[in-house]
Copies of this chain bind each other. A is one copy, B any other.
Amino acid sequence: MPTVKGFKFSGVSSGLKSGRNNKDVALIVSEVPAHAAAVVTTSRVKAAPIQICLKRQKSGKGQAVIVNSGNANACTGPQGLKDAQTMCRETAKALGIAESLVWVASTGKIGEMLPLAKIQQGIQESVQKLSATGYQEAAQAILTTDQFTKYAHRKGTIGSKAYSLLGIAKGAGMIMPQMSPTGHATMLAFILTDAAINPTTLKGMLTRCVDPTFNAITVDGDTSTNDMVLILANGQAGNPPLKANVKGAQQFEKHLFEVCHELAQMMVRDGEGATKVVQIDVKGARNPQAAEKIARTVGNSLLVKTAFFGEDPNWGRLLGAAGRAGVALDPDKVDLYYDKVCLVKKGACVSPQAEEQAKKVAQQASFIVTLDLHMGKGSYTLYSSDLGHNYVQLNSEYRT
Q: Chain A: residues with CB nearer than 8 A to chain B? A: 42-46, 72, 74-77, 109-112, 173-174, 178, 184, 220-225, 301-303, 306-307, 309-310, 312, 314-317, 319-325, 327-332, 344, 346-349, 387-389, 391-393, 395-397, 399-400
Contact B222 A347 (CB under 8 A): no
Given contacts A75-B319, A396-B309, contact A184 B324 (CB under 8 A): yes
Contact B332 A77 (CB under 8 A): yes
Contact B75 A348 (CB under 8 A): yes
**Residue from B72, B312, B319, B332 within 8 A of A399 (CB atoms):** B312
Contact B109 A306 (CB under 8 A): no
Contact A321 B222 (CB under 8 A): yes
Tell me the complex Cα distance, A348–B79, Å.
10
**Residue from B43, B321, B391 within 8 A of A302 (CB atoms):** B391
Tell me the complex Cα distance, A331–B225, Å.
11
Given contacts A75-B316, A348-B77, contact A324 B396 (CB under 8 A): no
25 A-B pairs in the complex with CB atoms less than 8 angstroms apart: A46-B323, A74-B316, A74-B320, A75-B316, A75-B319, A75-B331, A75-B347, A77-B332, A111-B348, A184-B323, A222-B301, A222-B302, A222-B317, A223-B320, A224-B320, A225-B320, A302-B302, A302-B395, A303-B395, A306-B392, A310-B395, A310-B397, A312-B396, A317-B400, A389-B393
Contact B389 A324 (CB under 8 A): no
Tell me the complex Cα distance, A332–B111, Å.
12
CB distance from A37 to the nearest CB of B (A): 23
Contact B329 A44 (CB under 8 A): yes
Tell me the complex Cα distance, A66–B299, Å.
35
Residues in B neighbouring A319, C-beta threshold 8 A: 45, 75, 110-111, 225
Nearest to A224 among chain B residues (CB) is: B320
Contact B396 A317 (CB under 8 A): no
CB distance from A162 to the nearest CB of B (A): 41
Residues in B neighbouring A391, C-beta threshold 8 A: 302, 306, 392
Interface of A is mostly: loop
Tell me the complex Cα distance, A1–B344, Å.
48
Tell me the complex Cα distance, A316–B71, Å.
12
Given contacts A392-B387, A400-B316, contact A348 B76 (CB under 8 A): yes
Q: Given A44-B330, A75-B316, A111-B348, 13 more contacts at CB 8 Å? A: A42-B324, A43-B320, A45-B322, A75-B315, A77-B347, A110-B319, A174-B303, A223-B324, A302-B302, A307-B395, A316-B400, A388-B392, A391-B392
Given contacts A302-B391, A388-B392, contact A317 B45 (CB under 8 A): no
**Residue from B45, B322, B330 within 8 A of A320 (CB atoms):** B45
Tell me the complex Cα distance, A111–B319, Å.
9
Residues in B neighbouring A178, C-beta threshold 8 A: 324
Residues in B neighbouring A310, C-beta threshold 8 A: 395-397
Contact A329 B174 (CB under 8 A): no
Contact B109 A316 (CB under 8 A): yes
Query: What are the nearest 9 A-B pairs in CB distance?
Result: A110-B316, A45-B323, A310-B396, A111-B316, A306-B395, A223-B324, A43-B323, A44-B329, A220-B302
Residues in B neighbouring A312, C-beta threshold 8 A: 396, 399
Contact B320 A110 (CB under 8 A): yes
CB distance from A318 to the nearest CB of B (A): 9
Residues in B neighbouring A325, C-beta threshold 8 A: 44
Residues in B neighbouring A174, C-beta threshold 8 A: 303, 320
Residues in B neighbouring A317, C-beta threshold 8 A: 110, 222, 400
Tell me the complex Cα distance, A400–B318, Å.
11
